[in-house]
Amino acid sequence: MLLYNSQVSGNCYKVRLLLAHLDVKYERQELSVADRSNRPDILGGLNPALRVPTLVLDDGRSLGESGAIIWFFGEGTRFVPDDPYERAQVLQWMFFEQYDHEPAIAVVRFWLAYSGRPREEFADRLDERLAAGYRALDGMERHLDGRSWLVGDGMTLADIALYAYTHVAAEGGFELDRYPAIVAWLERVASEPGHVAIDA
């Protein structure tokens, strides 16, 4: 099994983190997040979005979108609840992450820490994205206050999906110490047996 990967990508890290917990073995092929010019050649036919992560199974079938990949491996394990409402809640947080959280927090982190381009290039959009990122963090904090996990009584794909970019949000300048419930939850996720770091 082959994962087209970018090591700094939180979207790819979701897949790597789940597969580490499940002890599933795979090969990696690293693609650049800054120079994406080779992606149509490499990912065309494998993933309509031409993005990483893209997974190729041993039989040649492929799958794109971090949320779809972790659902594929997560169903039937402790990371996807059996209860239909809790399953839908896990997906609610995963869609929230892709629509509200990632386009703000991951994008600002990429601009400032990984794009190789000067901050001024993004100046006219930075405040809007920072505000959107803080709105997403506010929503997480309200929900996590008094809870150990996003859904139910244990870690699920929802926690893996939100952990990925939240735990490196400071690289985009987000001040996480405003959010005690999020900080405690980040430590809880990282303390789970089988955890691996984003650079592992």
Q: Of the two residues 31 and 70, which places its CB atom closer to a copy of itself in the complex?
A: 70
33, 114 in Cβ contact below 8 A? yes
- Does residue 87 touch a copy of itself according to CB under 8 A? yes
Sequence-distant (≥ 6) Cβ neighbours of residue 161 within 8 angstroms: 14, 66, 67, 70, 93, 94, 97
Residue from the set 77, 95, 184, 197 that interacts with a copy of itself by CB under 8 A: 95
Taking Cα atoms as reference points, which of 2, 10, 112 lies closest to residue 55?
A: 2
Only segment of 14-22, 88-96, 114-122, 175-183 that touches a copy of itself (CB under 8 A)? 88-96
Spatial CA neighbour of 168 closest among 89, 98, 112, 128: 112
**CB contact burial 76-102 (16+ within 10 A = b; e otherwise):** eeebbbeeeebbebbbebbebbbebbb
Pairing of strands 27-30, 2-5: parallel
Tell me the window of 14-22, 81-89, 170-178, 192-200 that interacts with a copy of itself (CB under 8 A).
81-89
Binding region for a copy of itself (CB under 8 A) out of 23-31, 56-64, 114-122, 176-184: 56-64
What is the separation, in whole angstroms, between the first and last Cα of the chain? 18
* Options 1, 24, 34, 68; binder of a copy of itself; rule CB under 8 A: 68
Kindly write out the interface string for residues 107-146 of this chain, putting x where it contacts a copy of itself by CB under 8 A and - elsewhere.
Answer: --------------------------------xx-xx---
**Site pattern 16..55 for a copy of itself (x: CB under 8 A):** --------------------------------xxx-----
Neighbouring CB atoms inside 10 A of 143's CB total: 16
Contact 17, 161 (CB under 8 A): no
98 lines the binding site for a copy of itself (CB under 8 A)? yes
> Among 91, 130, 181, 183, which residue interacts with a copy of itself (rule: CB under 8 A)?
91
Stretch that binds a copy of itself, among 89-97, 113-121, 172-180, 182-190 (CB under 8 A): 89-97
